[in-house]
Amino acid sequence: MSATFLRRRTGVFAKVSQEQIVLVVVVALFVVFGVTLDGFLHVSNLVNLVRSVSSLGIFGVAMAVVVIARGMDLSLIASMGVATAVAIQLMHTQVSTPVALVAGLGIVLVMGLLNGFLIAFIEVPALFATLASGLLVYGLARATVLDGLIAELPGDRHFVLALGQGTLLGVPVPIILFVVTAVLAQIVLSRTKAGRFVYAHGDNASAAALTGIAVRPLTVLEYTASAAIGFVGGLVVAGSVGGLNTQVIDSTLIYDVLLVVVVGGISLVGGRGSVLSVVAGTALIGVMLNGMTILNMNTHEQDIVKGLILLAALVLDNRLHPRDEETVRQGE
């Protein structure tokens, strides 16, 4: 259907993918900042740069799984935040660390199942389903389980602290976790049957269903996997700050995650992009944030700049992957 509306690009842009463009931009920014900003190219600054965006990168991988399948998970931060906070709260009791982590994992899995069920079986548009489920899990957790807004990680839970603050062979653990998550996700998405099905689902859901892929269970699987990856990111955040402020759920972090995914070239029409796109997007955001930081911009100005870039990415995404905007329905 949309093929008839697809405007073929000519020239360089026909061959260059969005993630390649982004990578070129990253390199260019890198060079510019390296030349103009003092201390940008310093090793410690670069390690700090990567470490500071590694949790964002992990969330990006989680979001990528559902976006490739033409979905979206706005509850990602909420489910990871609640799960992490509950796990931390359990760590204040006698419960052992693995049990607390399994409890947290259970929460994100339930959230993934709920999202998948709402989207696949009730056919609620993903945006609204996840928006509402995010509000629901946070509200419910605050009303029943959570003690306060801030869950403080006890100092003796070394495993979780190490996830955020430790180093392995001189490399900070968050960076290692990001790399491992990205590589695993890429292998699963590109080398396994389930991964190829995810692409098929995102490319054309009805065609996938007609070829015999069980699209509805697959949807549930995608959201569950996404939520589980998000939980890893949550532990990294909790480990590095020594606790989790659940108000992060109300913050603009989720938009940053979307930014990373969309900027990197994982189109919201689904079926396009790869984990490499997340890496490219994360690199761009990391360099930009670091640069803006050194350029002495405050968070609000950074928000505005980020918003403008995301806006440009949306328009660009639409130019590169046009959709049939006459037949497109709500929630896209």
Partner 1 sequence: MRKSHARKLRAGGLAAAALLAVTGCSTGGGTSAASGGGGDQVPATASAGELREHAVKSLQGKTAAFVPIGMGTPLMAEWNRQLQRGFEAAGMHYVLRDPNWDTAKQAEAVQSLINDKPAVLVVHNFDVQILAKLIQQAQQARIYVIQINMVSNYKSDAFVGADTIDLGHRIATDIVDQCGANTPTSHEVQIVQGDATSGFTLDVMAGAKQVFDQHPEIKVVSTQAANWDRTKAHDITATVIQQHPDLCASWGFWDQMQYGAATAIKEAGKQGRVKVFTSDHSNITCEGIRDGLFFESYGYSVPTQGTDIVAIAKYLVQSGQAPGTARVADYTPLVKIDKANWNQPNTCYDGKNDGLTVR
Partner 2 sequence: MTATAPMRPAPPRRRPAERNVPEQETLRGRLRHLRYRASPQQVFAELFEKRWMEPAIPVAILAGVIVFFSIAAPGFASPANLLSTAAELAEMSLICLGMAVVMISGGIDLSVGAMFGLCNMVAILLITVAGVPVVPAILLTVVAGVALGGVNGVIVAYLKARPFLTTLVTLIIFRGVLNLLDLYFSAKTASVFVVDPVWEWFGTGKVAGLPFGFVTLLVVLVAGHVLLSRSRFGWHVTAVGASRRAARHAGIRVERVLLFSYVAAGALCAVAGVFYAARLSSASARVGEGLELNVLTAVILGGISLAGGKGTVWRAFIGAATISLLGKGLLLMDVGGEVLQTVLAVVLIVAVGLDTKWGKNRGKAIQKSYVNPTLLEYGPLEDIRPGSGSPFEINDRLRDAESIGLGEVEGPEDVIVDAEGRVYCGTRQGWILRFSGPGFATREVFARIGGHPLGMAFAANGDLVVCVGGMGLYAVSPDGKHRKLSDETDRTWTRLRDDSRLRMADDVDITPDGKIWFSEATTRFDMADWILDGVEGRPNGRLVCHDPATGRTRTVLRDLVFPNGICACHDGESLLIAQTWLCRILRYWHSGPNEGRLEIFMDNFPGYLDNINRASDGTYWVALNGMRSPAYDLAMRMPKFRRRMMKRIPRDEWLYPSMNHGCVAKVSEAGEVLETFWDPGGEKHATITSMREHDGFLYIGGLENNRVGRIRLT
Contact between 139 and partner 2 (CB under 8 A)?
yes
Q: Please state, in angstroms and as integers, the Cα–Cα distance from residue 252 to each residue in 51, 285, 299, 301, following that order.
A: 20, 14, 11, 14
- Answer for the pair 278, 64: CB distance below 8 angstroms, yes or no: yes
For partner 2, the binding residue among 24, 31, 168, 325 (CB under 8 A) is: 325
Contact between 155 and partner 1 (CB under 8 A)?
yes
Q: Residue 311 CB, nearest distance to partner 2 (Å)?
A: 5
State the SS3 of 245-302. EHHHHHCCHHHHHHHHHHHHCCCCCCCCCCHHHHHHHHHHHHHHHHHHHHCCCCHHHH
CA 100 – CA 91 distance, rounded (Å): 6
Q: Taking CB under 8 A as the criterion, which residues in 97-136 touch partner 2?
A: 118, 122-125, 127-129, 131-136
Contact between 148 and partner 1 (CB under 8 A)?
yes
Contact between 145 and partner 2 (CB under 8 A)?
no
For partner 2, the binding residue among 6, 162, 210, 301 (CB under 8 A) is: 301
**Closest by CA position to 260, among listed 240, 238, 237, 283:** 283
Q: Residue 224 CB, nearest distance to partner 2 (Å)?
A: 18
Contact between 38 and partner 2 (CB under 8 A)?
no
Q: Taking CB under 8 A as the criterion, which residues in 212-251 touch partner 1?
A: 240-242, 245, 247-248, 251
Contact between 142 and partner 1 (CB under 8 A)?
yes
Q: Residue 168 CB, nearest distance to partner 1 (Å)?
A: 18
Contact between 267 and partner 2 (CB under 8 A)?
no
327: its two tokens = 């037949």
263: its two tokens = 């900027």
Give whichever of 145 and 168 is closer to partner 2, judged by the CB atom: 145
Q: Please state, in angstroms and as integers, the Cα–Cα distance from residue 41 to each residue in 33, 38, 170, 179, 283, following that order.
A: 8, 8, 18, 21, 15
Residue 124 interacting partner from partner 1, partner 2, none (CB closer than 5 to 8 Å by kind): partner 2
CA 191 – CA 187 distance, rounded (Å): 5
What residues line the site for partner 1 (CB under 8 A)?
48, 52, 142, 148-150, 152, 155, 240-242, 245, 247-248, 251, 290, 293-294, 296-299, 302
